[in-house]
Amino acid sequence: MVAPASAPADPRSARAVRDVVFVDGVRTPFGKAGKKGIYAETRADDLVVKVIRELLRRHPELPPERIDEVAIAATTQTGDQGLTIGRSASLLAGLPQSVPGFAIDRMCAGAMTAVTSIAGGIGFGAYDIAIAGGVEHMGNHPMGEGVDPNPRYVADNVVDPSALVMGSTAENVHDRYPSLTKERTDAYAALSQQRYEQAQLAGKIAADLVPVSTRSGEQGWGLATADEPPRPGTTVEALAGLKTPFRPHGRVTPGNAAGLNDGATGCVLADAETARELGLPIGMKLVGYAFAGVEPEVMGVGPIPATEKALKRAGLSIEDIGLFELNEAFAVQVLAFLEHFGIADDDARVNPWGGAIACGHPLASSGVRLMTQLSRHFAEHPEVRYGLTSMCIGFGMGGTVIWENPNFDTAGGAK
């Protein structure tokens, strides 16, 4: 009797999840959206091209043909942000035609989701090295352009009508947290501007910026080398007098919220072994991530359950986190996070170089800005082991990514 042939081994059984590392990130200067902004006559896809080319310029040790994927996020995927922008921008940037690409959307967390999606592929073994990022040209594509919300959202009471206006959701967060007064949000906004100004003067911001050639019908050719939105010298007293456009006698103003902006970001992600093989630097290692949904009318609280979920999955607590990069869509949203976790409004671990209230928030691009800055903080703080990036997301979501400092072990200390 002939013994039956043994079944082939399942190739998945011996596959281990690989370490995913953040190699490096860059961004364009962020501009003000509108006809007078620095990018009024610049295409969104050309901003992405600048970012991809700069990543390759900074890392000649990375052979372009080794890039396995290009994932670029955009909230409004039409016009110069359409045509599967991850693929089209990679071709325009001169990457080999063998390099694929795709577009992705999770509103404000587009670039963050590009990173987590690519990270899953790297961890599983589908990619060794890839580029992830995001772009938003809010001057060319105003928030909500072309959107046709299903009338049943309101007619069937699926969401409160205020959920469709981000500024109104921020006013709702104020309602939910009465202790978060306008005075506190104005004070936080002024601090963000001050920290950004100090970081800029110290040369910490410019190091991550890609100069972009611009053209204006009135001014001709120019070069964007610095963020356009910051307001140096902002004071609490000046912010107190601003109008509240989302509610009469409200608390949300143009001064304690991020503006409407244009810009692009990008980063290189890799398997740790591949990074070492190619001699690429390792800025930080991915620990874990989570996204969570909340009531759409208070979307600003989304980072709270997302962070709790990410920490639980990673086996960590909020006390283990030594550095925070929180997106400042609205000051009240950041303060709700800090109050929930018992962190002071002016804690030095939170947004040490200021945030989106100062430098701007071009929607889908911002997640990689947070990550790039966190990796820079890690390099300066080897005593810190873990940090996180977190942001609220339109229509009731939050996202959090936890990272580990590769410099920690050599420091011989603890947080």
Catalytic residues: 108, 361, 392
Ramachandran area for residue 203 (φ above 0: left; ψ -120 to 50: alpha; else beta)? left
CA–CA separation, 130 vs 128, rounded Å? 7
Could you list the beta-strand ranges (E) of 86-245: 101-104, 129-137, 212-216, 220-224
Cβ atoms 117, 103 nearer than 8 A: no
Cβ atoms 403, 387 nearer than 8 A: yes
Three-class SS state of 267: strand
Max CA-CA distance within the chain? 93
CA–CA separation, 101 vs 110, rounded Å? 15
Cβ atoms 41, 217 nearer than 8 A: yes
Using a 10 angstrom Cβ sphere, with 0-12 exposed, 13-18 middle and 19 or more buried, the burial of residue 2 is: exposed
How many CB atoms neighbour CB 232 within 10 A? 11
Distance of alpha carbon 126 from the chain centroid: 24
How many CB atoms neighbour CB 187 within 10 A? 18
Cα dist from 331 to 49, 191, 255, 375, 379, whole Å: 32, 11, 9, 23, 27
Give the bridge partners for 402, in sequence order.
288, 388
Three-class SS state of 230: coil
Cβ atoms 229, 32 nearer than 8 A: yes
Residue type at 401 in one-letter notation: V
Cβ atoms 73, 135 nearer than 8 A: yes
